[in-house]
Amino acid sequence: MPNVPEVTPVPTSQPFPTGEAEAENTLAGIGEFGLIGRLTQGRSPTRGTLLGPGDDAAVVAAPDGRVVACTDVLVAGVHFRLDWSGPEQIGRKAAAANLADVAAMGAVPTGLLVGLACPPDMPVETLSGLTDGLWAEAQSVGAGVIGGDVTSSPTLVVAVTALGDLEGREAVTRAGARPGDTVALAGRVGWAAAGWAVLARGFRSPVAVVSAHRVPEPPYASGPQAAAAGATAMIDVSDGLLADLGHVARASGVRIDVRTAALAVPARLVDVGAALGVDPMHWLLTGGEDHALAATFPGEPPEGWITIGTVAEGEPEVLVDGRVYDGGPGGWDHFAR
């Protein structure tokens, strides 16, 4: 790949249409309740939803007696770009970020609440596509969009709250890792970071790598599986493997050592790394947004998980092959400079 300048962001909305017919296709043209009607029409209730969109609040069954809940906020130009991803891809990504957090607690997702803030001149088709993506990702795990809110904003913002059911299991937190545990990984890491690097240089291929940035593929079922298998701690890898294992190390008061020999670098990432002058292992160790799951177990992990390290006594930290990682930051930090 040639070395080309980084592409510049584009506006997240289009110029306000001048024709009456075109205005009907914008949020300003159809209004708040017209938008809500279009986004909710024809959506069927999902498992556990007793009352869906349309009232002051939704009603969701909670047979376990406990509800797992998490929230993520995605901002245009920070978490996504409409010139890099289509609206449906952005919707799927927004849902996946939350559904993976529910799975990381050992729970099964039951529903999503969505807040949308967007410019009045945004085409209705953009919001419809985004909502289609949210629904599609939620329905992939048997959940749905059960309610939310819309408001105007100069920038497109998507706020998603996910709810989950532990189904009688104990929640798996970040704080339970013990010396002697093994560290294991389910799902892929490094792909989304490689995709971002490709897009940042103005390219749209390799398609598989770029698609990984646009729409992650979290191993949702692996969360409840790990909980049932006795996982002592677990986390969604959203900011980077080393950074997120660092949260586990600090919460549990342990030292974690990751073995790079256990992390197989996919051939496609080797090729992209060679083209961009990047060691692909750096993407595996520090790249976020693939939403893999990392967990600790008192013995061997269950099927589908690979052992990538160990837990030991010591100052809370994450080592790589027995040493402090010197390849740069261990992951993403929104407020770091």
Query: Do residue 156 and residue 77 come from a single domain?
Result: yes
Residue 236 assigned ligand-binding role: yes
* Residue after which a domain boundary falls, among 140, 165, 190: 165
Structural domain boundaries, residue 236? 182-324
Residue 71 assigned ligand-binding role: yes
- Give domain status of residue 335, yes or no: no
Tens-digit pLDDT profile for residues 55-64: 889 899 999 9
- Read off the pLDDT band of 38 (50, 70, 90): low
- Read off the pLDDT band of 53 (50, 70, 90): confident
Query: Do residue 56 and residue 104 come from a single domain?
Result: yes
What is the pLDDT, as a whole number, of residue 190?
A: 98
CA dist 285 → 72, 81, 234, 274 (Å): 23, 24, 17, 17
Considering only CA atoms, which of 19, 59, 53, 139 is closest in space to residue 91? Answer: 139
- Give domain status of residue 284, yes or no: yes
Query: Do residue 29 and residue 119 come from a single domain?
Result: yes
Residue 72 assigned ligand-binding role: yes
- Give domain status of residue 127, yes or no: yes
Check pLDDT > 70 for residue 156. yes
Domain containing residue 273: CATH number: 3.90.650.10
Count of CB atoms situated within 10 Å of the CB of 77? 13
SS3 282: helix
- Give domain status of residue 171, yes or no: no
Query: Do residue 160 and residue 188 come from a single domain?
Result: no
Tens-digit pLDDT profile for residues 294-334: 999 999 999 999 999 999 999 999 999 999 999 766 554 44
Considering only CA atoms, which of 222, 215, 49 is closest in space to residue 132? Answer: 215
User: Structurally, how many domains does the chain consist of?
Assistant: 2
Residue 238 assigned ligand-binding role: yes
Check pLDDT > 70 for residue 14. no
- Give domain status of residue 331, yes or no: no
Considering only CA atoms, which of 259, 244, 240, 254 is closest in space to residue 321? Answer: 259
10 Å CB burial of residue 181 (0-12, 13-18, 19+) is buried
Across the chain, where does the E strand assignment appear? 49-51, 59-60, 68-75, 108-118, 145-152, 157-165, 182-186, 233-237, 255-258, 292-297, 306-312, 317-320, 323-324
Structure token digits, residue 317: 């930290």
Tens-digit pLDDT profile for residues 244-259: 999 999 999 999 999 9
Query: Do residue 149 and residue 36 come from a single domain?
Result: yes
Tens-digit pLDDT profile for residues 87-128: 999 999 999 999 999 999 999 999 999 999 999 888 889 988
Contact 255, 320 (CB under 8 A): no
Contacts for 205 with CB less than 8 Å, ≥ 6 apart: 198
Residue 279 assigned ligand-binding role: no
CA 296, CA 106: separation in Å to the nearest integer?
13
User: Tokens 């940042």, residue?
Assistant: 200
Q: Is the peptide bond before 206 cis (omega within 30 degrees of 0)?
A: yes
Residue 121 assigned ligand-binding role: no
Query: Do residue 263 and residue 305 come from a single domain?
Result: yes
What is the pLDDT, as a whole number, of residue 46?
A: 76
Residue 259 assigned ligand-binding role: no
- Give domain status of residue 301, yes or no: yes
- Give domain status of residue 129, yes or no: yes
Residue 332 assigned ligand-binding role: yes
Check pLDDT > 80 for residue 214. yes
Residue 195 assigned ligand-binding role: no
Give the global pTM.
0.87
Count of CB atoms situated within 10 Å of the CB of 324? 9
Residue 148 assigned ligand-binding role: yes
* Residue after which a domain boundary falls, among 133, 165, 197: 165
- Give domain status of residue 4, yes or no: no
Residue 315 assigned ligand-binding role: no
Query: Do residue 127 and residue 186 come from a single domain?
Result: no
